[in-house]
């Protein structure tokens, strides 16, 4: 392992340990699992649907669940460092800003992945009741994991903007909500009334929903992978610009 990866892993272990050394992580996971169960079996009417599929009752709720839960999990990453004054200390260590960002992001993404993995009883239920398409389920989980990563990268960016966790939470929710609504038909129909077609199409292209829908159908398309990766890279790059500005100020 080279020096850069070693630094990233060191930061990631520190952050991941910070999650599980407090009851907040366990409360978050319990809330996430309870909400997943509620939306799947109650609102999603899993048993009433009569289908051995997770597309509609399970995965379709994830963009909305993550809208609040992911910002709640990531809002502290940089805001807390700034609030308690440890950001300056962190940036003076023999690591680059990018390594610190990658380490923090990786730790939080792994934490979200653990929470997502713990929903496996739902998969067991589907297999107990029928013969689902394993490929579609795995693709859905991959899409859900990438969606959580995209939301998290946005939250990392907003967390670097302010020392107030509440402001970071609100900003990230607003941005992620835009990423959901951007391609929603009522929104595009409203834009068409006063905006040129190219602008409407540009706004709609930022929507996460059609890209996530492909994974729900069991389709892993390179364009969808590129879309989520682009959101993460752009948000993390913007975070590095913000931190460089704080370091030089």
The residue with greater pLDDT, 171 or 48, is: 171
What pLDDT does 22 receive? 81
Instruction: Tell which residue, 110, 104, 109, 198, has the closest CA to residue 159.
Output: 104
In order, the DSSP letters of 67-131 are HHHHHHHHTHHHHHHHHHT-HHHHHHSSS-HHHHHHHHHHHHHHHHHHHHHTTHHHHHHHHHHS-
Task: Over range 81-95, report the average pLDDT.
Answer: 70
Which bin fits 50, alpha (ψ -120 to 50), beta or left (φ > 0)? left
Task: Over range 93-110, report the average pLDDT.
Answer: 88
The range of the structural domain enclosing residue 15 comes to 3-248
Residue 149: both structure tokens together: 């990563």
Band (51; pLDDT cuts 50, 70, 90): low
What pLDDT does 222 receive? 94
Confidence (pTM): 0.90
What pLDDT does 200 receive? 76
The residue with greater pLDDT, 235 or 98, is: 235
What pLDDT does 44 receive? 65
Instruction: Tell which residue, 99, 40, 70, has the closest CA to residue 240.
Output: 99
Percent of the chain scoring above 90 in pLDDT: 41
Band (249; pLDDT cuts 50, 70, 90): low
Percent of the chain scoring above 70 in pLDDT: 91
Q: What is the pLDDT of residues 135-166, one digit of tens each?
A: 889 999 999 999 999 999 999 999 998 888 99
For residues 9 and 194, what is the distance between their CA atoms, to the nearest angstrom?
49
Residue 49: both structure tokens together: 């649907």
Q: What is the pLDDT of residues 184-211, one digit of tens each?
A: 777 777 777 777 877 778 888 888 998 9
Q: What is the pLDDT of residues 28-47, one digit of tens each?
A: 999 999 999 888 888 767 76
What pLDDT does 169 receive? 94
The domain total for the chain is 1
What pLDDT does 225 receive? 96
């Amino acid at each position: 392992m080279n020096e850069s990866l070693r630094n990233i892993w060191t930061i990631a272990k520190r952050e991941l340990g910070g999650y599980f050394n407090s009851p907040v992580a366990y409360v978050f996971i319990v809330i996430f699992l309870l909400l997943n169960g509620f939306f799947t079996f109650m609102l999603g009417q899993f048993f009433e649907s009569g289908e051995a599929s997770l597309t509609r009752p399970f995965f379709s709720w994830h963009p909305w669940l993550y809208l609040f839960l992911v910002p709640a999990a990531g809002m502290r990453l940089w805001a807390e460092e700034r609030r308690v004054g440890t950001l300056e200390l962190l940036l003076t260590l023999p690591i680059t800003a990018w390594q610190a960002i990658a380490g923090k992001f990786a730790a939080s993404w792994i934490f979200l992945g653990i929470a997502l993995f713990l929903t496996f009883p739902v998969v067991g239920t589907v297999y107990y009741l029928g013969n689902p398409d394993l490929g579609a389920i795995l693709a859905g989980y991959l899409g859900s994991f990438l969606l959580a990563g995209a939301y998290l990268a946005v939250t990392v960016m907003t967390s670097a903007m302010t020392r107030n966790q509440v402001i970071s939470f609100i900003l990230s929710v607003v941005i992620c909500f835009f990423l959901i609504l951007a391609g929603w038909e009522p929104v595009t129909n409203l834009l068409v009334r006063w905006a040129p077609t190219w602008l409407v199409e540009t706004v709609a292209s930022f929507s996460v929903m059609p890209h996530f829908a492909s994974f729900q159908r069991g389709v892993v398309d390179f364009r969808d992978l590129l879309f989520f990766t682009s959101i993460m890279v752009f948000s993390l790059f913007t975070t590095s610009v913000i931190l460089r500005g704080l370091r030089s100020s």
